[in-house]
């Protein structure tokens, strides 16, 4: 009887070990299935909130923009009027971005004033057709005509400027460097300073 009882106990222990091992395997499989299915379920249930974690990326530093300004001035005194040109060139990373040219004419001669005014009005009308170019005439001061021309070299339509006979010219383009502009302007008589 003792022998039978020992055998029954062994059989029971083997059976309980088998049941316990089987139970652990079932739990392990269940855990693996839950881990494998959970991300897919989260994406279906919360598509806008579930974002799988990605390795963090170091942001690329934005290159620093070097801004410089060149101011050039020239005074001329042709026959019966005085002409003053003030030009302000703006550069970013040594490339020309814009030019604002203010040309002021002073005269006491009515015929010259009338001719300069009509030329100014014609250029103002023609400049409207060129992208990247703004032109304005100011005749509010007696005996003075002021042209303000702004070239936006980033958006300037070089072809239209050259071929539409606008009457407004620039020797430079968006690839012109500060040194080039300064040298060329000083060669034709301007006085230039960097700011």
| pLDDT, tens digit, 9 for 90 and up, residues 89-128 | 999 999 999 999 999 999 999 999 999 999 999 888 888 8
The stretch 24-47 carries a mean pLDDT of: 74
- Measured CA distances, 182 to 26, 70, 84, 139, 148 (Å): 83, 7, 18, 30, 20
At residue 80, the 3 state secondary structure works out as coil
Are 123 and 40 members of one domain? no
3-state helix, strand, coil in the chain (%, to 5): 40, 25, 35
74 & 133 share domain: yes
Residues 29 and 81 in one domain: no
83 and 30 assigned to the same domain: no
Are 185 and 89 within one domain? yes
- Do both 133 and 173 map to the same domain? yes
Which band of pLDDT confidence, cut at 50, 70 and 90, is reported for residue 43?
Answer: low
Phi and psi dihedrals of 10, rounded to 5?
-60, -45
Question: Do residues 52 and 96 share a domain?
Answer: no
Same domain, 96 and 124: yes
Residue 122 forms part of a structural domain: yes
Among candidate residues 90, 40, 33, the one with its CA nearest the CA of residue 67: 90
Residue 79 shares a structural domain with residue 147 = yes
Q: Which residue range(s) make up the domain with 19?
A: 8-57
Question: Which pLDDT belongs to residue 24?
Answer: 80
Residue 3 lies in a domain: no
Verify that 77 and 15 share a domain, yes or no. Answer: no
CATH of the domain at 166: 3.30.1830.10
On whether residue 2 sits in a domain, the answer given is no
More confident residue, 57 or 46: 57
138 membership: H or E segment, kind and range? strand 133-138
Is residue 89 in some structural domain? yes
Q: How many domains does the chain have?
A: 2
pLDDT at 187 over 80: yes
Residue 150 exposed, middle or buried by CB count within 10 Å (0-12, 13-18, 19+): middle
What is the reported pLDDT for 143?
Answer: 92
């Amino acid at each position: 009887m003792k022998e039978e009882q020992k055998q029954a106990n062994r059989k029971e222990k083997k059976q309980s070990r088998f049941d316990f091992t089987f139970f652990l395997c079932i739990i392990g499989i269940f855990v693996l299935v839950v881990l494998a299915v959970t991300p897919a379920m989260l994406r279906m249930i919360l598509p806008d909130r579930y974002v799988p974690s990605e390795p963090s990326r170091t942001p690329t530093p934005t290159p620093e923009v070097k801004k410089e300004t060149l101011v050039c001035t020239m005074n001329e005194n042709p026959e019966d009027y005085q002409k003053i040109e003030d030009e302000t060139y703006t550069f970013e990373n040594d490339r020309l971005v814009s030019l604002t040219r203010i040309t002021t004419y002073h005269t006491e001669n009515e015929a010259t004033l009338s001719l300069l005014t009509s030329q100014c009005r014609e250029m103002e009308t023609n400049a409207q057709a060129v992208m990247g170019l703004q032109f304005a005439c100011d005749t509010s001061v007696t005996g003075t005509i002021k042209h303000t021309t702004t070239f936006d070299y980033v958006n300037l339509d070089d072809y239209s400027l050259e071929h539409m006979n606008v009457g407004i010219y620039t020797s430079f383009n968006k690839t012109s460097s500060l040194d080039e502009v300064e040298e060329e302007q000083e060669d034709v008589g301007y006085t230039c300073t960097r700011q």
